[in-house]
Structure 1
Amino acid sequence: MIVVRWHRLKYLLPAVLLVTVLASITQSCFNLAAIAALSGNIPIADIVATMWFDLTHFSLTYAPIVLINLLLSSILLHILPLSRGYFLACLLGAALLYAMVLIINTLVPMPTLIAATRSAAGLLSMMLCSSAGMALYLWLFKRRPANG
């Protein structure tokens, strides 16, 4: 029988926030690099405005993806005792994000929902963001009080 412990969500939510912010900035960087390749230099004001726009708009699309990804990763983390090490937890988070991106790209009619995942470097960057979130989750979870 699986027992749901809702208090574990308080360790998951900061990780979701971290991944969402990192992935939004990563998405902005890949988009800006593509634009710069076409048009040349981009003024710093436009770079900041683009990053802010992605933080306030793209993050709303990406946060539910991250939540599902990290929730599934954390459930697997607690089912598989061997994965309680940071490396394996980060690998689990990255692998599940990769699987989710493949599923999303299959279901969504446009070429890719997340522009950064169009290249191998972009996909790897997004997977590293997910790994950072799993590392934060595991770190917070291991530091919890004995009764928490």
Structure 2
Amino acid sequence: MISVRWFLLWYLLLAVLLTTVLACITQSGFNLAAIAALTGGVAAGDIAATVWFDLTHFSLTYAPIALVNLLIVAVLLHYLPLLRRYWLAAVLGAVVLYLMLLLINTIAPMPTLIAATRSGGGLISMLLCSSAGMLGYTWLLKRRKYYA
């Protein structure tokens, strides 16, 4: 009989949710900054509406990317115990996302699938979102004493 540790899946889904929310807010910020540079400013109501729109629409595009990204890192952490340090997990989350974005941008018909990754600052911001999700996942596991 196979023993299933459901908390691993639950923690991974929480990390994906954290990563997706942070990435959607980051994407909104970069889009709004580009609009503000063209128009001279954006009203507070438009900012809130844009963030909400990205949370409800862009998240559907980004969540599968975050899931695959964090799943790859979670499997690596499970089988390679030396990587179970917070900073290594965060770096690994960013590196795997970077490699995924290179692959996605090669396959996607448009210049880049995620507008925020068109600049260096935006790319680093998205990588930090992935690192935050991986830190959350690792913290939850260490809190449970799974990786103690």
Can you list the C-alpha shifts for 1:8-41, whole angstroms capped at 9, x where unaligned? 1111011000000000000000000011111111
1:86 aligns with 2:96: no
In structure 2, C-alpha distance between the alignment counterparts of 1:129 and 1:5, rounded to whole Å: 28
Corresponding residue of 1:21: 21
1:66-85 equivalences under 5 Å are: 66-85=66-85
TM-aligned CA deviation for residue 79 of structure 1: 1.7
- Partner residue, 1:58: 58
Structure 2 length-normalised TM:
0.93
* Root mean square deviation, CA, Å: 1.5
Q: Which amino acid aligns with 1:54?
A: D
Query: What are the equivalent positions in structure 2 for 1:1-148 lying under 5 Å apart?
Result: 5-7=4-6, 8-144=8-144
Which amino acid counterpart does residue 19 of structure 1 have in structure 2? T
Quick one: percent identity of the two aligned structures? 67
- Alpha-carbon shift at residue 71 of structure 1 (Å): 0.2
Give the residue type in structure 1 aligned to 2:12: L
Quick one: distance in 1 between partners of 2:113 and 2:143?
36
Question: Residue 87 of structure 2 aligns to which amino acid in structure 1?
Answer: F
Give the deviation of 1:6 after TM superposition: 4.9
Aligned-partner SS, 2:133: helix
Deviation at 1:141, TM superposition (A): 0.9
Deviation of 1:115 after TM superposition, in Å, equals: 0.3
Q: Which residue type is aligned with residue 72 of structure 2?
A: L
Identify the range of structure 1 (47-56 vs 6-15) with the bigger mean alpha-carbon deviation.
6-15
Question: Separation in 2 of the partners of 1:63 and 1:6?
Answer: 22
What's the TM-score, normalizing by structure 1? 0.93
What 5-or-longer segments of structure 1 have no aligned partner? none
The total of aligned residue pairs comes to 144
